[in-house]
């Protein structure tokens, strides 16, 4: 089984649900406590063994490369002030063996189109990961992508991360139709993007974690704009399955925060704050006091 070395991060969406915060900054740079969403995603990929990070950027692209680059002025200033702990944080955003590649998606034509922009850096036959940083997943002992890489090595199957979603929310998700193979794995028969609740084939919703095969590019190239006028990754994966290239859905272990929505983003900040080594105690006391006054 070929090792998965590359992770693609589509970060070129408009992030309209977070305006005005996303007017001049990508939503993936929003911090949860003290780290931007994109850094959690990059750390998840590196923990899963990936060493080439491919960012599909759009307008307002500068802050993401700046975040992962060396910051000479900041580092020399922290050194001059003897702020060694902070210097380590600024220096170690990514380990030195990791390479970052930036590709521009000139128009926000949809997630499928963003993934297609990665084609020049993926080799024929090479499996690769896609991580949507606005789905922040706390996998506990094993991150979501580590779980998926392990399952991919066991099954050899292209994988889509899924979770059970409330029936009334299926129309906000890509939904799978399939047969359960075991506790966490499904064989997929079909996929549908944002179905009306009465036509949804299940309530297993697609989340922002994928292990895709190079073959998906062929279907993305043929794809026409689907739901919402965008080129949908779900439609290309569905075409791939129809063409006889099977994919599985993996129900990951852990808790997902939908940080593309304001409520999910606030929940993530509260729960990561409660686990933060410097803040946990003081923040818990604060929340207890606040809850008492509500």
**Is 171 in contact with 198 (CB distance < 8 Å)?**
no
Q: Does residue 179 touch ligand UTP according to CB under 6 A?
A: no
Nearer to ligand UTP, 27 or 152 (CB): 27
Residues 242-271 touching ligand UTP, rule: CB under 6 A, are: 260
Question: Which helix (DSSP H) or strand (DSSP E) does residue 158 occupy?
Answer: strand 158-164
Q: Does residue 12 touch ligand UTP according to CB under 6 A?
A: yes
Cis before 20? omega within 30: yes
Q: Which two tokens stand for residue 54?
A: 């491919």
CB of 111 to ligand UTP, least distance (A): 4
User: Which listed residue (4, 7, 8, 13) binds ligand UTP by CB under 6 A?
Assistant: 13
Q: Which residues of 131-164 are buried (b: 16+ CB within 10 A; e: fewer)?
A: bbbbbbbebeebbbbbbbbebbeebebbbbbbbe
User: Which listed residue (110, 139, 161, 174) binds ligand UTP by CB under 6 A?
Assistant: 110
Q: What angle do CA 122, 248, 11 make, to 5 degrees?
A: 45
Q: What angle do CA 251, 49, 207 make, to 5 degrees?
A: 25
The region of 40-48, 107-115, 189-197, 283-291 touching ligand UTP under the rule CB under 6 A is: 107-115
CB of 26 to ligand UTP, least distance (A): 7
Burial of 19: CB neighbours in 10 Å, binned 0-12, 13-18, 19+: exposed
User: Which listed residue (17, 67, 91, 119) binds ligand UTP by CB under 6 A?
Assistant: 17
Phi, psi of 24 (to 5 degrees): -120, 5
Nearer to ligand UTP, 210 or 250 (CB): 210
Judged by CB under 6 A, the number of residues near ligand UTP is 20
The region of 75-83, 106-114, 194-202, 262-270 touching ligand UTP under the rule CB under 6 A is: 106-114
User: Which listed residue (7, 8, 11, 32) binds ligand UTP by CB under 6 A?
Assistant: 11
User: Which listed residue (14, 21, 101, 239) binds ligand UTP by CB under 6 A?
Assistant: 14
Q: How far apart are CA 148 and CA 158, in angstroms?
A: 10
Closest CA to 109 of 224, 237, 23: 224
The region of 37-45, 102-110, 185-193, 198-206 touching ligand UTP under the rule CB under 6 A is: 102-110
Phi, psi of 83 (to 5 degrees): -95, 75
Q: Does residue 136 touch ligand UTP according to CB under 6 A?
A: no
Nearer to ligand UTP, 105 or 269 (CB): 105
Binding residues vs ligand UTP (CB under 6 A): 10-17, 27, 56, 105, 108-111, 113-114, 132, 134, 260
């Amino acid at each position: 089984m070929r090792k998965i070395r590359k992770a693609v991060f589509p970060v070129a969406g408009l992030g309209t649900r977070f305006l005005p915060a996303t007017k001049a900054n990508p939503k993936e740079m929003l911090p949860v406590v003290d780290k931007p969403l994109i850094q959690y995603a990059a750390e998840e990929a590196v923990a899963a063994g990936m060493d080439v990070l491919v960012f599909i950027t759009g307008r307002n692209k500068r802050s993401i490369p700046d975040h992962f680059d060396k910051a000479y002025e900041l580092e020399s200033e922290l050194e001059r002030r003897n702020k060694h702990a902070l210097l380590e944080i600024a220096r170690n955003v990514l380990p030195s063996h990791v390479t970052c590649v930036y590709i521009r998606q000139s128009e926000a034509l949809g997630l499928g189109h963003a993934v297609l922009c990665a084609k020049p850096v993926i080799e024929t036959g090479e499996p690769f990961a896609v991580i949507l940083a606005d789905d922040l997943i706390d996998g506990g002992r094993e991150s979501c992508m580590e779980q998926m890489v392990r399952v991919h090595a066991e099954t050899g199957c292209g994988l889509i991360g899924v979770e059970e979603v409330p029936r009334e929310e299926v129309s906000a998700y890509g939904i799978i139709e399939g047969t359960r193979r075991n506790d966490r794995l499904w064989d997929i028969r079909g996929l549908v993007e944002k179905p009306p609740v009465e036509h949804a084939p299940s309530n297993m919703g697609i989340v922002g974690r994928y292990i895709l095969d190079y073959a998906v590019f062929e279907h993305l190239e043929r794809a026409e704009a689907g739901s919402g006028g965008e080129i949908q990754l779900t439609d290309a994966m569905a075409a791939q399955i129809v063409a006889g290239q099977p994919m599985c859905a993996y129900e990951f272990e852990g808790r997902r925060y939908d940080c593309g929505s304001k409520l999910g983003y606030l929940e993530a900040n509260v729960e990561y704050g409660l686990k933060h080594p410097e803040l946990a105690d003081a923040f818990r006391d604060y929340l207890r006091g606040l809850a008492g006054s509500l």
